Amino acid sequence: MFPAQTTPPFQSLLRLILMVIGFTFISQVVYFIALFFYYKMTGQVFSLAAVMNGSANEMRLLLLMSSLGSFVIPAYLMDTREGYGIKYFRLDGKPNAIEFAYIFLAMLAFMPVMNLIGHWNESLKLPENMKSVQLWMEQSEKDSGDLIRGIIMESSILGFLFNIIVLALIPAIGEELLFRGVLQNIVGRWLHNPHVVIWIVAVIFSAIHLQFFGFVPRLLLGAFFGYLYLWSKNILLPIFGHFVNNAGATVISFYYTRQGKTYDELNAFELQSWWIYLVAFIFTLIFVLLFYRTTQKENNGERLEKN
């Protein structure tokens, strides 16, 4: 999973960080320039307030540019331009349909438990002496919610399709290439325990979203995607799992909007009977175990290499 490389991991990590910062900045500059000329062409007054309260399509463009600049481009350049013969994105073998099915079913089965964990995470409060941090976290969460609210509550088919691309497909590709493909490889050159590597990257993956009241669910998802990559040695499978998670939320939001329901109703938590969570957890374990056994199956009488 984490082959020995001649490139010092610190050098690779520094290069990755500089690329993420640089291309994130460039993508935002390009976004504001494009918006400036669009406003001029349409006779609108260009201002920071107007940009911050832009239309859903403008916010979709912002998210698209952010995903490309922060994740897709740095990951691509690390894989193709770093040198030393390093290839970050493994595609060992061709995934079969049953592997995709197990991932889909595992994600579906885990939804009730994930909602419960998310509700618990949202209810956490920091000690009184950290009230300023708590307020900052709440404001950060509100800002993220306000941005998503204006995009995801979409009732038109075209808007829904745009959301699938901007909120599900592009982030799934970019974030998995960067975190599982590149970062998991780099950290793996420092540490030789793949489990430790997966959880470290999952922590970074969750923290970088700056949505602290969803930190634990996103941490678990990040770890799950990391194990998908470790077991399958194929980056397409964690990308698919990530897409299923994001697309599921997008589809549910579209359905709620078409039913005339609000964003608050979408995020409302309803506690279920304990046995529902137990059954959901058991089925999740079953599908994950089946996926693991499928990826570790014998090939011509010998175990697949675990490199």
Whether the predicted pLDDT of 140 surpasses 70: yes
pLDDT at 264 over 50: yes
The H or E element spanning position 303 is strand 302-303
- Evaluate whether 237 touches 102 at the Cβ level (below 8 Å): no
∠ Cα 224 188 288 (to 5°): 20
Residues forming a β-bridge with 303: 298
Q: What is the pLDDT of residue 210?
A: 76
Measured between alpha carbons, how far is 116 from 123 in angstroms, rounded to an integer?
11
Q: Which of 149-163, 253-267, 277-291, 292-306 has the highest mean pLDDT?
A: 277-291
**Tens of pLDDT along 290-299?**
999 999 873 3
d(CA 112, CA 92): 33
The secondary element (H helix, E strand) that includes residue 124 is none
**Cα 207 to the center of its chain, rounded Å:** 11
User: What is d(CA 232, CA 294) in angstroms, rounded to the nearest whole number?
Assistant: 9
Dist. CA 190–CA 192, nearest whole Å = 7
pLDDT at residue 307 in the model: 40
Q: Give pLDDT tens digits for 213-244.
A: 789 999 999 999 999 999 998 999 999 999 99
Among residues 87, 88, 89, 93, which one has the least CA distance to residue 295?
93
Q: Quick one: average pLDDT of 108-130?
A: 87
pLDDT grade for 302, boundaries at 50, 70 and 90: very low
pTM of the predicted structure, to 2 decimals: 0.88
When pLDDT is cut at 50, 70 and 90, the band that residue 287 belongs to is: very high
What would the pLDDT profile of 31-66 be if each residue is shown by its tens digit? 989 888 888 887 777 666 666 666 788 888 888 999
